[in-house]
Amino acid sequence: MSFPESAGASSYSAYCATKFTQIRKVATIRCMTHLLADPTFSWDAKVSIRLLLESAPIAIAVVSHTGALLYVNGKLEELFGYTREELLGQPVEILMPERFRQMHVQHRAGYARAPHMRTMGSALDLAARRKDGSEFPIEAGLSYLHIDGEMVIMATITDISRRKQIREELEHRVEERTHELERRQEVSEGLRDILTMLNSGEQLETILNRIVQHATTLLGASACAIFRYQERSREMVMQVTCGFPEREITELGLPIRDNHLVGYVALSGESVNVPDLTQPVASEKSQQEPRRQLLLSYGFRALLAVPLVIKNEVNGSFVLYYPEQRTFDDEEVELASTFSSQAALAIENDRLRSQIERTAVAAERSRLARDLHDAVTQTLFSASMIAEVLPRIWQRSETEGRRRLDELRELTRGALAEMRTLLLELRPTKLIEVEITDLLRQLADGVSGRARVPVTVQIEGDAEMPPDVKVALYRIAQEALNNVAKHAQATQAHVYLRREPDFIELAVADDGVGFQFDTIKPEHLGLGIMRERAEDIGASLTVHSEIDQGTRVTARWDNGRTSAAIL
């Protein structure tokens, strides 16, 4: 069966359908090229294959071993914009950018010497050139066969512009997402660093400087400043800055009246961004003109200002400055607000810390005043009373006079010891400098003079005491002796300190009324304070007391011991 050339397209379609079974084994373009060279395959089958190639959805070209185009299908004409007559007989390099043509001639010669099949998608970065000169990326497959002793090459060409565009878009999205993840990680690390500083007790200025540095870096600004609002003067005062040269700080740091932009932010509590400082700022928001001109002269072209809110009250502005005109998205405004909140938290923490310190100073002064009244004042009052009646007593009885004189001597000695103790409270570093023996004797003398209870001090050993251990044991002895003076009703008390290389032991004992543990709360009689002192140095604390049998407090510190207990 043959196919007449005069037959129409519909006859051709019918003919192809009847011939399809005969050529079904042709599954690839390579198989088709071999069939074209097979002398046992009938001509009508070859015509059918040729027509199938013509209707293929990809561009196909057949090239001689010299590089001349022998055949191109309709898809190639459509893809490159040439007509078949313009291409046949032309070198295949006509389909390539000029910069690749000379090199391709060499590649083609090499292929002719060692022909091989190259499948589509071989990861080669290839480019083609249309008739109008435009270039586009392609993917090309190669196959070869010999006809009448001469090699011909079949090339299949696919335009991968859309695929490459999709790939580039995907790579761009991946790059953007990676950049975003990295930025979020930097933001997280920056906020974590700020939070660490907030909990470290650093000075306020140090924390605020770190905050504006992180804000400048993570928000891509060239400078940043925190302004605090002064209600009395109605001025904005620059507190900390980052990124400003010294000259700019001098001029920009001058107080700003609240009718300027940063003042508007502070008063309104609204975030304001100015994407283009070259344009006047809306007059209903602020009278910014002089300030705007100053910012322009320093090279700033945009700014973002968010309120500084402290305890639900706007206290200032957090301002970022940019060298180029730009817009600000919601995420940037939110991040700027986060840094502003961190700055507000630092300011509030500093205020609370200062308030606590003032409260502590006031409490310490009250305690010292109370101690002066309870100890020194009463002791001196008793001493003055004895001194006033001593001459009359001496006249009546010299023996009684001498006894009262000894009592007066003890009272004044005790008052002097109490005063020295109070001076140590005012200068805590002295506790480390003074020898522990002198500290304990001073405490004992003070209690003896105040409570008129004889207190003896016994020291054994001379092992070195770490400063923190010395202070802790001194405080425990002080608390225990205060209990002797106030509650024990004792006739005598004893302080014992043993200093050995492996351990240090302190004991304070009295012969007073004693107490029962189940009748007092742990914080009473200073037991909680003594326990905390022992825990601070990793010492054990033992308190033993019986009714009418007195009380004994023992603190023992061992090298390497880290637990504390109260029994």
- 499-519 per-position pLDDT tens digit: 998 999 999 999 998 888 777
Percent of the chain with pLDDT over 70: 74
| pLDDT beyond 90 at 99 | yes
* Number of Cβ atoms within 10 Å of the Cβ of 70: 16
pLDDT of residue 235: 72
3-state secondary structure of 354: helix
pLDDT tens digits for range 384-430: 776 777 787 787 887 877 777 777 777 676 666 666 666 666 566 66
pLDDT score recorded for residue 506: 94
Using an 8 Å Cβ cutoff, are 225 and 213 in contact? no
Range name among 99-113, 201-215, 278-292, 338-352 with the lowest pLDDT average: 278-292
* Helices 330-371 + 398-426 axis angle, to 10: 170
Of 351 and 268, more confident: 351
Query: Do residues 326 and 182 touch, judged by C-beta distance below 8 A?
Result: no
Higher pLDDT, 78 or 32: 78
Average of per-residue pLDDT across 111-121: 80
With 90 as the cut, is the pLDDT of residue 230 above it? no
* Residue 476 confidence (pLDDT) above 60: yes
Of the candidate ranges 69-73, 106-110, 140-144, 411-415, the one whose mean pLDDT is the lowest: 411-415
Give 202 or 550, the one with higher predicted confidence. Answer: 550
What pLDDT does residue 517 have? 73
Question: C-alpha angle with apex 347: 341 to 353, nearest 5 degrees?
Answer: 135
Given a cut of 70, is residue 16 above it in pLDDT?
Answer: no
Average pLDDT over residues 24-32: 42
Helix (H, G, I), strand (E, B) or coil at 202: coil
The predicted structure's pLDDT at residue 348? 85
Give the whole-angstrom CA distance, residue 268 versus residue 284. 12
Q: Is 242 helix (H, G, I), strand (E, B) or coil?
A: strand
Q: Inform me whether the pLDDT recorded for 82 exceeds 90.
A: yes
Tokens of 380: 């001196």
Euclidean distance between CA atoms 192 and 173, whole angstroms: 28
| Mean pLDDT (whole number) for 361-386 | 64
pLDDT of the residue at 3: 43
Torsion of CA 42, 43, 44, 47, to 10 degrees: 130
- 315 vs 227: CA distance, rounded Å: 9
How many whole angstroms separate alpha carbon 407 and alpha carbon 404?
5
Mean pLDDT (the chain, rounded)? 78
Between 213-217, 362-366, 530-534, 560-564, the lowest mean confidence (pLDDT) is in: 560-564
pLDDT band (50, 70, 90) for residue 93:
very high
Is the pLDDT at 22 greater than 50? The verdict is: no
**In terms of pLDDT, which residue wins out, 337 or 253?**
337
Q: What is the pLDDT of residue 135?
A: 94
Q: Who's near 556: CB < 8 A, 6+ residues apart?
A: 503, 504, 505, 506, 539, 540, 542
- Mean pLDDT over 327-350 rounds to 88
State residue 286's pLDDT score.
Answer: 46
pLDDT tens-digit series, residues 170-209: 998 888 888 777 777 777 777 787 777 777 778 888 888 9
Write down the pLDDT at residue 566: 36
Average pLDDT over residues 56-60: 90
pLDDT digit string, tens, across residues 424-465: 665 666 667 788 888 888 888 877 777 778 899 999 988 888
The pLDDT assigned to 130 comes to 95
Least reliable range by pLDDT among 242-246, 441-445, 558-562: 558-562
Q: How confident is the model at residue 357 (pLDDT cuts 50, 70, 90)?
A: confident
Q: Domains of the chain (ranges plus CATH)? A: 9-160 (3.30.450.20), 201-355 (3.30.450.40), 427-558 (3.30.565.10)
What local confidence, expressed as pLDDT, does residue 511 receive?
92
21: confidence class by pLDDT, cuts 50, 70, 90: very low
Look-up of token digits 């004044």? 412
Distances (CA, A) of 425 to 357, 415, 431: 16, 15, 9
Structure confidence at residue 288 as a pLDDT band (50, 70, 90): low
- List C-alpha distances in Å: 519 to 485, 498, 525, 543: 20, 32, 12, 14
Phi, then psi, of 230 in degrees rounded to 5: -100, 105
Q: What is the C-alpha separation between 61 and 72, in angstroms, rounded?
A: 4
Does 9 score more than 50 pLDDT?
no
More confident residue, 547 or 190: 547
Answer whether residue 129 shows pLDDT above 90: yes
**Which tops the pLDDT comparison, 232 or 28?**
232
Q: Which residues contact 38 (CB under 8 A, 6 or more apart)?
A: none
Given the structure tokens 């603190």, which residue do they identify?
Answer: 555
